[in-house]
Structure 1
């Protein structure tokens, strides 16, 4: 241990790191189990087990390979350690990976200034600056007002809704600070940013391993540039109407009323580029007896200079043989542990009661693309230019995918 202490002291750095130069090499203070990641100080690393949280205390081993540091940290549980890798992730970014096999969760704290504002986190309806709260990343119904939640819960699977003000269809475990840095959690498991502390924040994920990146600025715009370099950027639109105003024609699919809406909009010189209908090609094949009517409908929209969108879910009704049987034949449905397709009551919206038994398309299955191409053939042949994809929050927690995932990772990915 004396050698470890000497090595730790050699690579230890001052912990006043909020002014560190962006892109400096990651460092570790092995005696206190504290790190520098980008220009942040990270500390209080801990893992969750059935007996509670166990915090890292000091380094048992530390190795350096160029700019990368590998360490094994002892914890307050003598029988459990945390393996850590610190290192660069391209220009202006550092990565922290911490894991402890068999753990149910990992968390870490990072220092911050008192006057920072915390932006980002994907689509959120409860606020822009999230400082002072706890932000969860879990794909779910939302956001609904408290008085609406009980009603919605009556016809959606329990795992698809969170009774939280920060509930979101498109969460992102991503913090952008006005101080000019960002923190991106790479995990798809459910995670939380605890933004309540005055001089820092915590990051927690329900997994045995955490992968976290700190992106430097110095400006928030520079941080966003580094983020999109890593996670991707919105491609150029394939058609001009993509970014134009849309209007929804309504649930009943009443074609005469739709044309009245078009006339009202045109007479008022209102800008509009696309009409979004609610003909549910999926989940249950509502279009199958209305093919000619759908083609006349899309032709009318096109004649008015509008693109037309229809509606699909990522589920297929068990009573829709043209879809469900085709998916089952191709082994392209999310399964149970037994291997059988995972069928459960899910929202349809056109009937009373508004749900039917459905299966979920497994997009990791080898023949999933073949299946989806088949299912898309009808709306394309009927003249639609695109579609709304709904209910991506429905993956069950105990479902299984062809590539071996469970709901712990597949639900949010």
Structure 2
């Protein structure tokens, strides 16, 4: 939110108490409390003005948090994001003669200027300044232009209050993340509100808003507030990120890392380690699409078509109309369309398929469950005690109140009933249209703070139902809404995109932004959701979608089975799906690393190559794990321009090679423009890398060791340890393969395991 008019003036109706002075400091138990005030020239300045208390702490090594509080007399109704505290984090504090206070955690330090009327914060690393608060960066805002202000109240007139914290932005510094944002990849110059909305992929609104941004200067910022957080990223003051929240307090954490990957690792250590998913989920998913007409016969016909064309298929998803219209959600198959759901799901399983069904946290008034939920108080209520209802989606729908433990048990039992029927996964759609005015929750949570946080409760409950039944790393959502910590409840997909090349590109930008916000898995609707793709777009999105962590064919009013668009589309889909299944051992290993360290499967180029400054603006290509560069094609003509990065020491270990033609090599540090048919795209193998594949796999969950092959590109120095992940327990390592090469015999790669094929690319 913008409060100023240029550098000198404030907007009409705005007052700001700027904190320019440290009145006193107290140190206790690895924390510091500062009493901040306006400029103090004489004792009279202590009157008729607010103060802010700054509480400085370190929940994790290389993480420093500051909580700023104006008035501390409010009722804390929650909810709060869970912050993981490491009590062993080492902190050093020095107070230097009331001129400077020094606070350090690990390799990061915070210098606070405490000299009279010279307040300043400076966060530093061994390389120099990261960010800080300079002159007039901390303040309490009073806005009398809102409906809260009544002039007839005289001196007791209230004003809407905001906490404002502005962090410095350096020369050439670039900012990323803030959840799944579909606009420009670099966030400098943008105004962003952290507020979940159901708005599709072609606007400034987003389903997954994460108040965390990653800076090219070597740090990240997490704003620990579940309500609306407004950020002006050089869009108000061109040297700052202005962060504001309505209310009386704000807390943020500065997270340092020597590389962008290290920043992400510390962020997920603070907010929650990403969970892993079952191996079968990496296979191709097919849905019924949204508003299409389908029944048993339609679904069976689709599946027969895939079998006849020898296209691997792992998961079948039933979208909304598996239930009767106006009754979403009643968790019952429409008996007119599916007269024997248990028997039918069993027949699908006999085909080797996993089953997913669509749900949302809403109960339509026509649902048999509505009366039950109303009777027992399972729904969000209005302040007068009535059930909160509206007609926007399902007629008269109510929303399950997940702060009510009994409502959670009730909702969970219906999910368990579906699991008993044969369902393996749930698409947790919606979770963004959550009211915040004139509502109350069972536990009296603040509705404005619950609007974003609701996504955490919703996804967590569904995810835990599955993991309780199937075991660790065997639960799987297909979720649309998210908030900080949601990486613990995967997978998430990009929502409602149009069927255009532009929408395909914006989907990639959104996915890369989300995966710079702590998430390691992501998918898009292959072919686009709204509209019907052209055959060329369908094939190009298939190439992109099958080089994503998860791959789902899904549309709105048209089916996404390939032969509708031409039999050549079937050929492309078959080849792309087989390639992804072949890559399963590699993907499982990269996912395990991501769970440990927060590094996503699909990663922005600068995340993998932070020393190559040319990568920092690239948003039309990505790394698929550590070894594979992917440049999707975004036009009918097949033309694509892409950049081959410098890869540090790997520059001396060979050249990048095409996946499709090992003799085709690429020089680091160069741009290339190529034209590709539908059987290829720029898919490059990194020099000095070992990529584990298995061409014998029929399904991702098959035996990883039978047919294991190592693709070695370039020279390998010393020993590399390759982890083979157990497909049945994706959080466990089945075997570690040691690959060695002495410096004097770089062309002779050895492996300590019999039966493993080594292919040296040349």
TM range (shorter): 0.7 to 0.9
> Is 2:413 the partner of 1:365?
no
Matches within 5 A, 1:80-119: 80-101=50-71, 104-119=161-176
> Is 2:391 the partner of 1:345?
yes
Asked if 2 retains the 8 angstrom alpha-carbon contact of 1:114 and 1:198, the reply is no
Asked if 1 retains the 8 angstrom alpha-carbon contact of 2:316 and 2:354, the reply is yes
In 1, Cα distance between equivalents of 2:27 and 2:409: 47
> Is 2:205 the partner of 1:167?
yes
Once the two structures are superposed, residues 280-322 of structure 1 have per-residue CA deviations (whole angstroms, 9 ceiling, x without a partner) of 473255635356432243223212211111111101112223x
Equivalent pairs, count: 339
Asked if 1 retains the 8 angstrom alpha-carbon contact of 2:60 and 2:270, the reply is no
Asked if 2 retains the 8 angstrom alpha-carbon contact of 1:75 and 1:82, the reply is no
> Is 2:309 the partner of 1:268?
yes
Asked if 1 retains the 8 angstrom alpha-carbon contact of 2:379 and 2:387, the reply is yes
In 1, Cα distance between equivalents of 2:164 and 2:308: 58
SS at match of 1:367: helix
Displacement of 1:340 in angstroms is 2.3
Once the two structures are superposed, residues 36-86 of structure 1 have per-residue CA deviations (whole angstroms, 9 ceiling, x without a partner) of xxxxxxxx9xxx9x8543322323332222542212222489332222111
Once the two structures are superposed, residues 218-238 of structure 1 have per-residue CA deviations (whole angstroms, 9 ceiling, x without a partner) of 11111111011111122222x
Most deviating of 171-180 and 267-276? 267-276
In 1, Cα distance between equivalents of 2:393 and 2:168: 44
Counterpart pick for 2:361 among 298, 303, 314:
314
**Residues 293 and 128 (structure 1), Cα distance of their counterparts in 2 relative to 1, 3 Å cut:** farther
In 1, Cα distance between equivalents of 2:256 and 2:54: 21
> Is 2:256 the partner of 1:211?
no
SS at match of 1:135: strand
Report the counterpart of residue 410 of structure 1 in structure 2. Answer: 450
Displacement of 1:94 in angstroms is 0.3
Unaligned runs of 5+ in 2: 1-6, 40-46, 75-159, 454-762
Displacement of 1:124 in angstroms is 1.5
Report the counterpart of residue 141 of structure 1 in structure 2. Answer: 198
Matches within 5 A, 1:254-403: 254-278=295-319, 279-280=322-323, 282-284=328-330, 287=333, 289=335, 292-321=339-368, 323-348=369-394, 356-398=395-437, 399-403=439-443
Rg larger in 1 or in 2? 2
Matches within 5 A, 1:211-250: 211-237=251-277, 239-250=278-289
Task: Kindly report the root-mean-square deviation, in angstroms, between the aligned alpha carbons of the 2 structures.
Answer: 2.6
**Residues 276 and 53 (structure 1), Cα distance of their counterparts in 2 relative to 1, 3 Å cut:** farther
Greater RCO (Cα-Cα under 8 Å, separation 6 or more): 1
> Is 2:106 the partner of 1:60?
no
Asked if 2 retains the 8 angstrom alpha-carbon contact of 1:188 and 1:409, the reply is yes
Asked if 2 retains the 8 angstrom alpha-carbon contact of 1:68 and 1:87, the reply is yes
TM-score (ref. length: structure 1): 0.75
Asked if 2 retains the 8 angstrom alpha-carbon contact of 1:125 and 1:143, the reply is no
Asked if 1 retains the 8 angstrom alpha-carbon contact of 2:328 and 2:367, the reply is no
**Residues 338 and 66 (structure 1), Cα distance of their counterparts in 2 relative to 1, 3 Å cut:** same
> Is 2:240 the partner of 1:194?
no
TM-score (ref. length: structure 2): 0.42
Displacement of 1:360 in angstroms is 0.6
In 2, Cα distance between equivalents of 1:208 and 1:243: 45
**Residues 125 and 51 (structure 1), Cα distance of their counterparts in 2 relative to 1, 3 Å cut:** closer
> Is 2:126 the partner of 1:79?
no
Asked if 1 retains the 8 angstrom alpha-carbon contact of 2:17 and 2:49, the reply is no
Once the two structures are superposed, residues 1-48 of structure 1 have per-residue CA deviations (whole angstroms, 9 ceiling, x without a partner) of xxxxxxxxxxxxxxxxxxxxxxxxxxxxxxxxxxxxxxxxxxx9xxx9
Unaligned runs of 5+ in 1: 1-43, 146-164, 349-355
Asked if 2 retains the 8 angstrom alpha-carbon contact of 1:285 and 1:320, the reply is no
Asked if 2 retains the 8 angstrom alpha-carbon contact of 1:143 and 1:166, the reply is no
In 2, Cα distance between equivalents of 1:406 and 1:74: 29
SS at match of 1:411: helix
Most deviating of 242-251 and 217-226? 242-251
Displacement of 1:378 in angstroms is 4.2
**Residues 191 and 285 (structure 1), Cα distance of their counterparts in 2 relative to 1, 3 Å cut:** same
Asked if 1 retains the 8 angstrom alpha-carbon contact of 2:220 and 2:256, the reply is yes
Asked if 1 retains the 8 angstrom alpha-carbon contact of 2:331 and 2:418, the reply is no
Asked if 2 retains the 8 angstrom alpha-carbon contact of 1:118 and 1:175, the reply is yes
Asked if 2 retains the 8 angstrom alpha-carbon contact of 1:309 and 1:386, the reply is yes
In 2, Cα distance between equivalents of 1:294 and 1:60: 70
Report the counterpart of residue 69 of structure 1 in structure 2. Answer: 32
Displacement of 1:337 in angstroms is 1.1
Displacement of 1:214 in angstroms is 0.5
In 2, Cα distance between equivalents of 1:344 and 1:286: 22
